[in-house]
Amino acid sequence: MIETSTIIEAIYYILKRLKKADKIKLIKLIYLGDKYHLIRYGRTITNDDYYAMEHGPVGTTVKDVLSFDPFNIPPRTFKYLATLIVKEDETHFRANPDAKTTFDMLSDTDKEALDFIVEKFGKMGKWELRDYTHKYPEWYQYEDLFMNKLTKRERIETKELLSTLKDDPLAMPRKHVKESEKILTGTFD
């Protein structure tokens, strides 16, 4: 089940480290955080549904949260979002410096994943991140469809997020990835 409060805290956690970021960058950093955590621990941070879209993989609930649209988010959750994150304009966000949270929705490994992602990818701009995420097979397999305007989005199965690239900072030994896949799918020998 997708827990929107977890997504809000993950975005806030990143913004606390970066100070501010735009929508595309945040969507990509959360995606990379989910990949990192899935590869290492057999589950994503957000449990979000992912789609390949023109600018790369997108978590649908992350996208909804960053829309700041109260019609897409339950009132209580929207209030929590508005206390932690400030929407500066249509695409830019920052952490509310007066907000206080104990990050109850994030585990220690969730925070580890987000710290790693900010450290490795946080200095990249949104288009550099977009181009980087386009290299992963879960997006790349649909590139021709996007280039020829034949689709707006294609579903990415969570298992596909276990992919890595050559010299990828997210990579783990194949045996470890297989164990993570078993945890994800619940298929143990």
Q: Which pLDDT tens digit goes with each residue over 120-131? A: 999 999 999 999
CB 38 within 8 A of CB 170: no
Average pLDDT, the chain: 95
Q: Which pLDDT tens digit goes with each residue over 176-189? A: 999 999 999 998 76
Question: Does the pLDDT at position 48 exceed 90?
Answer: yes
Gap between the Cα atoms of 61 and 77, Å rounded:
12
Give the model's confidence band at 114: pLDDT under 50 very low, under 70 low, under 90 confident, else very high. Answer: very high
Gap between the Cα atoms of 156 and 51, Å rounded:
5
* Single pTM value for the model: 0.96
- Strand, coil or helix: what is 22? strand
Q: With pLDDT > 70 as the criterion, what percentage of the chain qualifies?
A: 99
Q: Which pLDDT tens digit goes with each residue over 15-41? A: 999 999 999 999 999 999 999 999 999
Amino acid identity for residue 181 in this structure: E
Residue listed under structure tokens 């913004």: 15
Residues pairing with 85 in the sheet: 95
Predicted local confidence at residue 189, as pLDDT:
66
How far is CA 101 from each of CA 8, 84, 95, 136, 170, rounded to the nearest angstrom?
Answer: 11, 8, 11, 34, 28
Q: How many residues does the chain have?
A: 189
Give the model's confidence band at 138: pLDDT under 50 very low, under 70 low, under 90 confident, else very high. Answer: very high
Question: Does the pLDDT at position 70 exceed 90?
Answer: no
Look at 68-82, 115-129, 156-170 and tell me which has the smallest mean pLDDT: 68-82
Predicted local confidence at residue 99, as pLDDT:
94
Q: What are phi and psi of 125, to 5 degrees?
A: -80, 170
Work out whether the CA dihedral 53, 88, 126, 159 comes out positive or negative: negative
